[in-house]
Amino acid sequence: MNAIIITIGDEILMGQILDTNSQYMSRRLTEIGVEVVEQLSIPDKGEEIYETVDYAMQHADLILVTGGLGPTKDDVTKKVLTEYFGTRLVFHPQAMEWLEELLRNRNLPMNENNRSQAYLPESCRILRNFKGTASGMWFERGWKSLISLPGVPFEMEHLMDTYVIPDLKVKYPHLQLAYRMLKVYDVPESALAHHLEEWENALGEGLKLAYLPSPGLVKLRITAKGDAVQHLDAAYDTLKEVLSGMKYTEGEDALEKQIGNVLRKKGATLATAESCTGGEIARLITSVPGSSDYFKGTVVAYANEVKIRVLGVDEKDIEREGAVSETVVLQMAEGVKKLMNTDYAVSTSGVAGPDGGTPEKPVGTVWIGVATPEKTFARKFAFSFTRERNMAKAAAKALELVMLEMGV
């Protein structure tokens, strides 16, 4: 089964907001074996919505539409879909009850714009939206389905998870798709592809390998469709054999989530001391819900005086070896570990760029220190010439070092 996703909204085309809806819907559809063949973004114009829907209905089995379901005049999706499917807008008493309950719970008054959202296409299935005032709509024509969802991301996700994905599984039980994921560290994508070329060429029908590069690592995803699902585990086992000797971790969870899981199991805690990464490591760690269970905090020691006064770095060592040095990041890691009374700590100091490099320490030079209950060590890295990539790579490498040291 293939699908086309249509996102509606001038704000997307103008670059005012990111289209995270297409990403979420594509991922969820892929998980159940639906192949997304196109993602289309169009403005809030009735004629263009009609033409795009007609195109999608001709070229896909499943069409997902988001946006344009609000109560204002520029929200025309509902009217266009009513016309396209040859039906009419009718008052839905139950939808009105849902609206009244939602607004009552939020202590908001009912107005005419709200009431207009109880008028819905007669021939579609209504999907109750517990998160907002715009109901979802499920149309069918022959074996094809078009599902219209609100453009507000958390409302769309709620309807996808509550109705769309579960009901598609029931409606199309033949869909089969599964995948396995692992992450390989410190190997360029091109070198990894060369190393795996023979193994990849031997993959059976229905099995496919995808390379997903990120700063400091490459994710490998093996996907199996249909009957090939039964061979997925065997292929995954042989892949790990071919990767023997390389550093890798299994699973698709981000590094920060994996670290959090291990810290929670150990009952251990972590702190960071960051110079060149400017708090990026702490941001990644705290992006995980529940990270307060194990993350104590960070010191963004950008200035040398903060390294000295807060973290206890020896001023003479900075004068003698420079802030970007093994000695300094070791003291930074030990200092923040002691300051915050944690089991683990990680520190960074480097030349992020674009200026500040020297022949001895060019832009991209980064030292990372890690303090554990047993030892403290540091590693030196040479990254790129781009400030943003240097910060991202340093943060990712710092998490990797912590993770590997914990035995993940």
Length of the chain: 408
Per-residue pLDDT of 170-193, as tens digits, reads 888 777 778 899 999 889 999 999
Q: Please tell me the distance from the alpha carbon of residue 165 to that of residue 31, in angstroms, as a whole number.
A: 9
**Is the preceding omega at residue 121 within 30 degrees of 0, hence cis?**
no
Mean pLDDT of all residues in 50-61: 96
For residue 336, give the 3-state DSSP assignment. Answer: helix
Which segments of 244-397 are extended strands (E)?
Answer: 248-250, 270-274, 295-300, 344-350, 365-371, 376-382
User: What amino acid is encoded at 177 in this protein?
Assistant: L
- Residue 400 backbone class (left: φ over 0; alpha: ψ -120 to 50; beta: rest): alpha
Mean pLDDT of all residues in 340-360: 95
The pLDDT of residue 347 is: 98
The pLDDT of residue 407 is: 72
Phi, psi for residue 154 in degrees, rounded to 5: -70, -25
The pLDDT of residue 179 is: 87
User: What amino acid is encoded at 245 in this protein?
Assistant: G
Q: What is each CA distance from 317 to 13, 273, 301, 351, 390, in whole angstroms?
A: 53, 17, 16, 18, 24
Domain boundaries, the chain: 2-171, 177-250, 255-405
Which segments of 289-384 are extended strands (E)?
Answer: 295-300, 344-350, 365-371, 376-382
Confidence category of residue 150, pLDDT binned at 50, 70, 90: very high
46-59 helix and 77-84 helix, angle to the nearest 10 degrees: 50
pLDDT over 90 at 384, yes or no: no
The pLDDT of residue 408 is: 58
Percent of the chain whose pLDDT exceeds 70: 100
Which of 171-175, 191-195, 244-248, 402-406 is most confident? 191-195
* Lowest mean pLDDT segment, chosen from 73-87, 140-154, 165-179, 298-312: 165-179
Tokens coding 192: 């990894």
Percent of the chain whose pLDDT exceeds 90: 78
CATH of 255-405, picked from 3.40.50.300, 3.90.950.20, 3.40.50.1980, 1.10.760.10, is 3.90.950.20
Q: Please tell me the distance from the alpha carbon of residue 83 to that of residue 7, in angstroms, as a whole number.
A: 19
Per-residue pLDDT of 213-226, as tens digits, reads 887 789 999 999 87
Per-residue pLDDT of 21-36, as tens digits, reads 999 999 999 888 898 9
Q: What is each CA distance from 327 to 332, 337, 352, 373, in whole angstroms?
A: 9, 16, 19, 19
* DSSP code at position 384: -
For residue 225, give the 3-state DSSP assignment. Answer: strand
Tokens coding 120: 């819905």
Q: Which fold has domain 2-171?
A: Molybdenum Cofactor Biosythetic Enzyme; Chain A (3.40.980)
Per-residue pLDDT of 66-95, as tens digits, reads 998 988 777 899 999 999 999 999 999 999
- Greatest Cα pair distance, the chain, in angstroms, is 80
Confidence category of residue 252, pLDDT binned at 50, 70, 90: confident
pTM over 0.85: no
**CATH number of the domain located at residue range(s) 177-250 in this protein:** 3.30.70.2860
pLDDT, the chain, mean: 93
Do 347 and 336 touch, CB atoms closer than 8 A? yes
